[in-house]
Structure formats: C-alpha cells, structure tokens
Structure 1
Amino acid sequence: MLKLRAILIMTVYAILAALASFWMAKQSYSWFPPEAAAEAKLQDDLFSLFTGLGTFIYLGVIGPFLYSLVFHRASKYDMSDGPPIEGNLWLEIVWTGIPLVLVLTLSFVSYRTYEKMAVRGPMELVHLHMPQVMQSAYAEPFDSSPQQQIQNAAQTAPIEQIDVTAKQWAWVFHYPQQNITSTELHLPVGRRVRFTLRSEDVLHGFYIPAFRLKQDVVPNREIDFELTPVKEGTYRLRDSMFSGTYFAANQADVVVQPFDEYQQWLADAAAQSPTPAFNQAAFEYSQESDREGATKGKVAIRGWNSIPPAPPPVVNYAPKPEPDSPPA
C-alpha cells in the first residue's frame, strides 16, 4: 500500500513538473528581443528546448529532495545508522544512460541549429583552407501567417548583397549594386540578405541581438553570411568582441523597412556626395586629448596603452548625431 502510494505521488509530481517545464519553455520566448529575422526562431526554439528540459531536471531533483527532507527526517535523538542498502545495477544504468542520451541529443540539435544558421567561430575561420560553402539558413515557418508569407516570398526574391567593414571603431556598409556607403545599416523586410564581412584591423563581432546573430569577423578573411529580416523596426548592431579602448562605442542602427522605402533610401543616399560621418570613438578620443592637454593626435598617458581611432568613415549617408552629441 505504501509502495503504491509512493508511485502515485511520483506520477502526479512528474506530471506537474512536466506541465511547469512546458510553461517555462513557452515563457522563455519573451525573455529575448523581438524575432526580427527568420533565423531568430531557430535559436529561440533551441533555447526554449534547453529551458524546458533544464526546468524538468531541476524540479525532478529538488522535489524528491525536499520531500525526503520534510517527511523522512530522522528523529531528534535517533543516532542509528541507515539501512545497509547495496548498489542497484538497473538504477545505475538508468541514471547513467538518461543523462548520456540527453547530452548527445542536445549536442546534435544544437549542432544542426548552428549549421543551419551558418555561424562560424574564429578558430574555424582561421583554419579554413577551403572556400566557405554556406547553406541557406531558412528557418521553419513562423506560426503567424504574415511572417510565413514574408519567408515564402524571401525564398524567391533576389538576394541583396551588402559588404560590411569593421574597424577601430566604426561599421561601414557598402551596397555594391548602387555603389553607396553608409554608417547605418538598411535592410528590406522579407528579402534575403547576404553579408560579406571584413575587418581592417583586429577581431570584431557582428552582433545584432534581434536577429540572434553573432558572427566573428576575422582579419584577412572574407566571411559570407545570409539572413532574412521579417519584422520592420530599428534595431542595434554592436561589436561583441573587445576590439580596443572604444569598442563599446562601435555600434550602429539597423533599419528594417518595406522594400519600396528601402529602394527610396538607396536612391536618396546615391544622390548625396560622400562626406565624413560623425564617429563616437573619434569624438571621445579628441575630447580626452583636450581634457588631458595632450598634443594633437596623441592621448596623455593614463596608465594603459591606447591607439587613436581610425579616421571617421567617408560615406554617402550617415545618421544625424544624438541631441547630446556634438555635430561631426
């Protein structure tokens, strides 16, 4: 009778733990920025899977532990030893086999996800002797029909080519078909985009949280990467690698807009003459030089070595500085 009761309690608790894990897996989608690219759902699904399994394992361990602590405690003056229980072969096989299968399964699913996204690490790129063959990173269709229609259209639309140059400390975007450059990245919604990433100096990280994209940019390598923006809005590109003193200022806006507005922006930018863009790193460097009385182009000694930023990029289009920032 006691054994049957224990089995019933464990069964009910396992069902409750499974429901709680499923709820946590669904909640994990709200912990991230909006899914602004088709590939974002690939990574969010993977994280949701890890969250659900992690919650179930945690509850599966902490629940029996608390139950034993409350209902199976020894009495205050009980100094006797516990029963001499020997090892159980089947129990040992189960608690060894299940974690092994889980780890191997999660590793395989993670590998497949990042393979679809075509993300490459720095060491993989450094030792890459063959030309990079990139698979299309089309994600599974979204549940909502408008985004699914966008993805279906993206598979047949022409691919937009954009060259991305990273340097200390600025992002420069070149649109080769129109031969224009910008310090603000504009993308058409629902169109496949292929980036060619380059670095002029050190290791940088091309990181757009809303796209779930973080691609290392390695010097002396050209790295191709594709994605499909599916949600209009303005997002933020950051340098995820420590690339020097002013790497935190190495940011840019990413504007995802309808295709007709994107075409109009390209036409407006092509009509503008290239001019130096405002650069936050260069401005902070000059301010530091003025405050510390250093000679032009050289910062006073502050306890660590620093290098001057690259000259502000000369581009067709640059966003206006923030209200608290000085003009270029």
Structure 2
Amino acid sequence: MVRILEYLLIAGYIAVLLVVSHWIGQQAFSWMPAEATAEAQKVDDLFSFLVSIGAFIFLGLNSMMLYSVIFFRAPKEDYTEGHPSRGDVRLEILWTATPILLVLWIAFQGFNIYQQLNIIGLQQIVHLHTPLEPEPAYAAEISDVPKPAVETIEVFVKQWDWSFRYPNNVISNELHLPVNLSTRLNMHAKDVLHSFYVPEFRLQQYIVPGRNIDLVLTPIRTGKYHLKDSLFSGTYFSLLDANVYVESPEKYNQWLNQTATQEPASATNQAVVEYTQPPKTWFKTSWYTVAPAQPYVITGKGKVTNDT
C-alpha cells in the first residue's frame, strides 16, 4: 500500500512538473520580438518546445537533488559510504532511448522548418573521385525545386549599402513586402560575405558573393521593421541597415506605382557620410579601410549609377 502511494505521489509530481514546464514554454513566446512571418511561427513553436523540455529537466533534477538532501542526509559524524547502487536494465534503456528519440525529433523539426524556407542557391558541386585520379571522375549538381511565390524582389548588398529592385524595375533603398503573400527574395552580394537578418522574421541568411540566393518568406504582420547585416563586413558594417515595410497588397501596389513616377533622386549612404568626414582624433591612424561606393541614384525606371 505504501509503495502504491509513493507511485501516486511521483506520478502527481510529474504531472505538476509537466504543467509548470508547459507554462514556462508558453512564456517563451513573449521573450522574442513579434512574429512577422509565417516562418517565424514555426521557429517560435520549436523554441517554446525546447524551453519546456529544458524547464522540465532543470526543475526535475533540482527537485530530486533537494529531496535527497532533505530526506537522505547522513547523520552527523557518519562518514561511512552509502550502499553501492545496482544497475537496472529497464532504467538504462529508458534514459538512453529517451534522449536519443528527443534529439532525433528536434533535428527532424529543425530540418523540416529549413526545408519549408526553401533556400535556393546554396547547392554544391559533388565530386566523386578515386585517390589515383588527379581530377574528379564525376560531378553532379544538387537540384533545387523553387517554391512558388507571388512576387520576386531582387536584393543587392555591398559595402555598405542595401538596394532592392521590384518587378516593375523600381529600385529603392527600402524593402516593401505585401502581407499574407509569399515573396521571393533573390539576393546578391557584390563584394564580400553578407547576412540578411530581420529579427521579427526569424530569418538570418548568408549572402554569398557570386551566387544568387533565393529565400521565400510570407509576411503576416503589417508594420515597419529593421533589416541588418548580422555578419561583420568591414569598418561601417554597423551602418548597413534598411527599413522594411510590410503592408497590404493595395498599399504595396500604390507605393510601387507612385515610386515609378518619381524623379531620379540620390540615395542616402551613411557610410559615405562617415567616410568623408574629417578625422575626429588628434593623430591620424594608418588603419586601412575600404572606401564605400558613392550613393546610387534611385529612378522609377530601374536605372542606378553604381552598378546595382
């Protein structure tokens, strides 16, 4: 009877622990910026699950240690060693199989989210050759199937400037996206490695020079966001940012039409402003830095002065 009561208490405690861990996992949604894309929801769901698992393990282990300290404390002046533990095959199988299955499930979920993002352009050339052959005997390219998208926007990044070309050849230093519609971003780096990162999108993608990187996303929350280069790309990389606007399809089309009819205007490049300012120190340093390209000219016809 006593053993049955112990089992019931343990089961009740585990049930309470599961409820508390689930509640902590739900709180994890508030730790992140607002979800602005459908992809962000998938990422946050996985993050919440990981927090719940971590909370369950942390609270469970600490509770067990606290229980042992309180109820199994050795008497004073008792320095004898405890009874040697005996192995339990069922317990060994349980705590070996459970982490393996959990890690495999997490890996599958992460891979599934990555597949849904459908990032194109990162495929490699696979070379198969024998040790005696100096050149590859066989080469094959991994094929990618593009994910359908309503809109395609060209993204260009360089030291230190973002620019965006829209379907009607409008070029702007602002990224505008229609809400609830899948948009393909075809990204190009013109000099070094850069990174496309909007915290609310939960997307951080390297842009590799010499490759066209395609990224499909679906904005679900209107508003103004901030695009940053999350990868160090030189002296003025902290100035490499741009405004991102998620708006209704009507406002998006209205902005495209209005911008297409505007007169050419020079874009603002804060890196150029900083570079051309006189030194603010008494001693001139010999540190080398890349001179930023001059600001390009935005036109409604999609022509720019800086090879965008």
The TM-score by the shorter chain falls in which range? 0.7 to 0.9
- Tell whether 2:197 aligns with 1:168: no
Separation in 2 of the partners of 1:74 and 1:261? 73
Q: Residue 4 of structure 1: CA displacement? A: 3.5
User: Relative to structure 1, is the Cα distance of residues 119 and 30 closer, same or farther in structure 2, using a 3 angstrom cutoff?
Assistant: farther
What do residues 256-287 of structure 1 show as CA deviations (whole Å, max 9, x unaligned)?
A: 11222111211221112333211122212222
- Tell whether 2:301 aligns with 1:301: no
- Tell whether 2:259 aligns with 1:275: no
Question: Are the counterparts in 1 of residues 125 and 142 from structure 2 also a CA contact under 8 Å?
Answer: no
- Tell whether 2:220 aligns with 1:240: no
Question: Are the counterparts in 1 of residues 176 and 246 from structure 2 also a CA contact under 8 Å?
Answer: yes
Amino acid at match of 2:285: I
Partner of 2:68: 68
- Tell whether 2:191 aligns with 1:197: no
User: Relative to structure 1, is the Cα distance of residues 45 and 199 closer, same or farther in structure 2, using a 3 angstrom cutoff?
Assistant: same
Partner of 1:286: 276
SS at match of 1:272: coil
The structure 1 segments of at least 4 consecutive aligned residues displaced by more than 4 Å after TM superposition are: 124-128
Question: Are the counterparts in 2 of residues 46 and 113 from structure 1 also a CA contact under 8 Å?
Answer: no
- Tell whether 2:39 aligns with 1:48: no
Q: Residue 131 of structure 1: CA displacement? A: 4.8
Amino acid at match of 1:187: L
SS at match of 1:291: coil
TM-score of the superposed pair, with normalisation by structure 1? 0.81
Q: Residue 34 of structure 1: CA displacement? A: 1.4
Report the identity percentage: 41
Partner of 2:209: 219
User: Relative to structure 1, is the Cα distance of residues 183 and 293 closer, same or farther in structure 2, using a 3 angstrom cutoff?
Assistant: farther
Question: Are the counterparts in 2 of residues 170 and 313 from structure 1 also a CA contact under 8 Å?
Answer: no
TM-score of the superposed pair, with normalisation by structure 2? 0.86
- Tell whether 2:118 aligns with 1:134: no
SS at match of 2:35: coil
Amino acid at match of 1:291: K
- Tell whether 2:218 aligns with 1:206: no
- Tell whether 2:290 aligns with 1:312: no
User: Relative to structure 1, is the Cα distance of residues 199 and 51 closer, same or farther in structure 2, using a 3 angstrom cutoff?
Assistant: same
What do residues 32-69 of structure 1 show as CA deviations (whole Å, max 9, x unaligned)?
A: 11111111111111111111111112222111111111
SS at match of 1:202: coil
User: Relative to structure 1, is the Cα distance of residues 183 and 28 closer, same or farther in structure 2, using a 3 angstrom cutoff?
Assistant: same
Separation in 2 of the partners of 1:127 and 1:31? 40
Separation in 2 of the partners of 1:291 and 1:81? 70
Question: Are the counterparts in 2 of residues 197 and 222 from structure 1 also a CA contact under 8 Å?
Answer: yes
Aligned residues: 286
Partner of 1:18: 18
Unaligned runs of 5+ in 2: 127-140, 301-308
Question: Are the counterparts in 1 of residues 119 and 213 from structure 2 also a CA contact under 8 Å?
Answer: no
SS at match of 1:282: helix
User: Relative to structure 1, is the Cα distance of residues 119 and 105 closer, same or farther in structure 2, using a 3 angstrom cutoff?
Assistant: same
Stretch moving more, 234-243 or 49-58: 49-58
Q: Residue 199 of structure 1: CA displacement? A: 0.3
Unaligned runs of 5+ in 1: 137-157, 295-299, 318-328
Question: Are the counterparts in 2 of residues 191 and 228 from structure 1 also a CA contact under 8 Å?
Answer: yes
User: Relative to structure 1, is the Cα distance of residues 110 and 10 closer, same or farther in structure 2, using a 3 angstrom cutoff?
Assistant: same
Separation in 2 of the partners of 1:208 and 1:133? 25
What do residues 66-97 of structure 1 show as CA deviations (whole Å, max 9, x unaligned)?
A: 11112211122111110122222222221111
Question: Are the counterparts in 2 of residues 173 and 185 from structure 1 also a CA contact under 8 Å?
Answer: yes
Q: Residue 209 of structure 1: CA displacement? A: 1.1
What do residues 289-323 of structure 1 show as CA deviations (whole Å, max 9, x unaligned)?
A: 443589xxxxx425x43211222232238xxxxxx
Separation in 2 of the partners of 1:32 and 1:168? 29
Question: Are the counterparts in 2 of residues 174 and 180 from structure 1 also a CA contact under 8 Å?
Answer: yes
Partner of 1:144: none
Question: Are the counterparts in 1 of residues 119 and 216 from structure 2 also a CA contact under 8 Å?
Answer: no
What do residues 211-242 of structure 1 show as CA deviations (whole Å, max 9, x unaligned)?
A: 11111100000011111111110011111111
Amino acid at match of 1:70: I
Separation in 2 of the partners of 1:66 and 1:198? 56
Question: Are the counterparts in 2 of residues 43 and 212 from structure 1 also a CA contact under 8 Å?
Answer: yes
When the two chains are superposed, the root-mean-square deviation of aligned CA atoms in Å is 2.2
Residues 315-326 of structure 1: matches in 2 within 5 Å?
A: 315-316=298-299
SS at match of 2:164: strand
